[in-house]
Structure 1
Amino acid sequence: MELTTVWFSLIAVLWIGYFCLEGFDFGVGMLLPVLSRSETERRVVINTIGPVWDGNEVWVLVAGGATFAAFPEWYATLFSGFYLPLLLILVALIVRGLAFEYRAKRDDDTWRARWDKAIVIGSLVPAVLWGVAFANIVRGVPIDADKEYVGTTLTLLNPYALLGGVTTLLLFLTHGALFLALKTDGEIRHRARSLGLLLGLAAAVAAVVFLTWTQAITGDLTSSALFVAAALALLGGLFAAWRAREGWAFLGTFAAIALAVAGLFVALFPDVMPTTLEGGLSLTTTNAAATSYTLTIMTWVAVLFTPIVLMYQGWTYWVFRKRIAVHHIPTPQLAAEPTR
């Protein structure tokens, strides 16, 4: 297998990891005012992701860095053409991170309410815009013969891409609700499971329409099989939620997101950014790649350090694996903040 194909596959794995892990973070953030009825319950909800949310964001940083190093032409065209949506995502992630850290710095309801809104918005914006961005990457955008994006921001807001945004939004909401059902106990657990079922049905409809449209645009038997498997995993997760098997339910949405993202990358390959222009030049794993020497060095670095990162993150999830309930939350103090 060529190193360009290896690195395309590794970047796909990084995005799968990001969407599966950060996806439930986004869902929890958006559901904060929906599933909590008091400050104590809000602290329960936030503390479910307190030890892991910043670690989950590392996946997107590594994915961006790997794209820059392995496929510099892809990185340059993507970040210039998608500048505004990517900037909005970055700002939203920064605001959300600040909200997690600062909401408990003052014992004031208004102060906390404002930061709670920042958590919701900081989770909502990326949840939608990542779907819009990836839908456009798979569908193709106007790229000329010089590998330059020649469209506008409005070009990215086409019906297919907007459906992609709605799909990721609903999937992440479902994923987050079932994560809360898995990680909490008491009233929040029951509310989250019930809401996860409703959201999951809406997500299933949106996902089926979006993935069918994707298959009609570009795809083969492999991507089709992955999309079908994703739909079955989501339905299986919802069935498990209905049976109050939260662990299996969360695993179902996790697998559904992983299989769907994998299918998108399979449908995209060997392109990394197809053009919609006649006479334009699609970016591929060949013409957008770095030199063989660069890819070789990157491969050795990945082989050495990837297992360490995976073991550390796995250890973090194991340490903070227990459920959280209202009675676990101590009396509010000025210095209190999400469990780290």
Structure 2
Amino acid sequence: MELTTFWFILIAVLWIGYLVLEGFDFGVGMLVGALAQDDTERRVLINTIGPLWDGNEVWLLVAGGATFAAFPEWYATLFSGFYLPLLLILIALIVRGVAFEFRGKRNERAWRRNWDIAIVVGSAVPALLWGVALANIVRGVPIDKNHEYVGTFFDLLNPYALLAGVVTLAVFFVHGCFFVALKTVGDIRHRATKLGVKVGVGAAGPAVAFIVWTGIDQGAFAVWLFGLLAVISCVASLALALAHREMLAFIATSLTIAFVAIMLFVGLFPDVMPSSLNSAWNLTTTNASSTHYTLVIMSWVAVIFTPIVLMYQSWSYWVFRKRIGVQHIPTEVLAR
């Protein structure tokens, strides 16, 4: 296997890990406004991801760093052309992280309500825009012969990309519901399952439409295969949730996200950023890559440190595996 292909696969794996792990983070963040009925329940939801959310975001940092080092042309074109949506995502992630840390600093209703709004918005915006960004990357954007993006922000808001954004928003929401059902006890657990199934059924139409659209666009058998696997795992997640098999339902939504991401990366390869103006101007794993020597050094670093990172994160999930409920939250009386 060529090193350029190896690094394309590794970056795809990093993105899949980020979307699966941060996906339920985003879902739980949106549930702070959609599921919780009082401040105690909101604290339960936040506590389910409290030890995990910042570690999950490391996958994004590593994916970005790997792209910069392995495919600098891809990184340059992507971050210049997608500057505004990526800036909005960055601002949302910053606001969301600050909200997690600051909402408990004062014992006032208005203070916590405002930070809760920040958590919901800071979770929903990236959930929507990551779908828009990934869909544009796969389908192609206006890139000239110098590998520079020559479109506008509104070129990114095409029907295919917006449909992808709606799908990622809905799927992450359902993913978060099943994570909450897995991590909580009592009434909030059952309400999370019911809400996840309801939203999942509603999201099925847009999700299937996006998968079919992608299959028609890309035409490859592997794209259709992983799209079909995504549909099967999505249906399985809803059935397992109705059967109160929370762990299996959560695994199924994880597989749904992973299969959709694999479908997109399979459709993209060997390009890393196609040009909608002229296929001869596509950025590929060959013309966008770093030197062979750089890739060799990076490969040795990845082989040594990737297993260590995976073992550490797996250990952290194991440590914080127990369920929580409102009975585990100390009672507070909030001031106005």
**Residue in structure 2 matched with residue 169 of structure 1 by the alignment:** 169
- Give the residue type in structure 2 aligned to 1:31: L
SS in 1 for 2:272: strand
Deviations 1:110-167 (A, max 9, x none): 0000000000000010000000000000110000000000000000000000001000
TM-score where L is the length of structure 1: 0.97
> Does the CA-based 8 Å contact 1:181-1:192 persist in structure 2?
yes
**Residue in structure 2 matched with residue 233 of structure 1 by the alignment:** 233
**Residue in structure 2 matched with residue 337 of structure 1 by the alignment:** none
**Residue in structure 1 matched with residue 80 of structure 2 by the alignment:** 80
Aligned Cα RMSD in Å?
1.1
- Give the residue type in structure 2 aligned to 1:76: A
Matches within 5 A, 1:1-340: 1-278=1-278, 281-332=281-332
- Give the residue type in structure 2 aligned to 1:83: Y
- Give the residue type in structure 2 aligned to 1:97: G
How many Å apart are 1:279 and its aligned residue? 7.1
**Distance in 1, Cα, partners of 2:206 & 2:47:** 30
How many Å apart are 1:218 and its aligned residue? 1.3
Deviations 1:245-274 (A, max 9, x none): 111110110001011101100010000000
> Does the CA-based 8 Å contact 1:274-1:282 persist in structure 2?
yes
How many Å apart are 1:29 and its aligned residue? 0.4
**Distance in 1, Cα, partners of 2:2 & 2:333:** 56
**Distance in 2, Cα, partners of 1:131 & 1:11:** 17
**Distance in 1, Cα, partners of 2:331 & 2:187:** 19
Percent identical among aligned pairs is 65
How many Å apart are 1:37 and its aligned residue? 1.1
How many Å apart are 1:191 and its aligned residue? 0.6
Q: Which 10-residue stretch deviates more, 272-281 or 38-47? A: 272-281
**Distance in 2, Cα, partners of 1:37 & 1:238:** 24
Q: Which 10-residue stretch deviates more, 205-214 or 82-91? A: 205-214
TM-score where L is the length of structure 2: 0.98
How many residues are matched?
334
Deviations 1:43-98 (A, max 9, x none): 10100000000000000000000000000000000000000000000000000000
**Distance in 2, Cα, partners of 1:165 & 1:34:** 19
> Does the CA-based 8 Å contact 1:142-1:280 persist in structure 2?
no
Q: Which 10-residue stretch deviates more, 28-37 or 129-138? A: 28-37
- Give the residue type in structure 2 aligned to 1:307: P
- Give the residue type in structure 2 aligned to 1:294: T
**Residue in structure 2 matched with residue 338 of structure 1 by the alignment:** none
How many Å apart are 1:16 and its aligned residue? 0.3
> Does the CA-based 8 Å contact 1:144-1:280 persist in structure 2?
no
User: Unmatched 5+ residue regions in structure 2?
Assistant: none
> Does the CA-based 8 Å contact 1:132-1:165 persist in structure 2?
yes
How many Å apart are 1:333 and its aligned residue? 9.1
SS in 2 for 1:37: coil
**Distance in 2, Cα, partners of 1:202 & 1:289:** 41
Deviations 1:164-185 (A, max 9, x none): 1000000000000111111111
User: Unmatched 5+ residue regions in structure 1?
Assistant: 335-340
**Distance in 1, Cα, partners of 2:120 & 2:279:** 43
- Give the residue type in structure 1 aligned to 2:304: L
Q: Which 10-residue stretch deviates more, 202-211 or 320-329? A: 202-211
**Distance in 2, Cα, partners of 1:207 & 1:4:** 31
- Give the residue type in structure 2 aligned to 1:91: I
**Distance in 2, Cα, partners of 1:129 & 1:219:** 25
How many Å apart are 1:280 and its aligned residue? 5.7
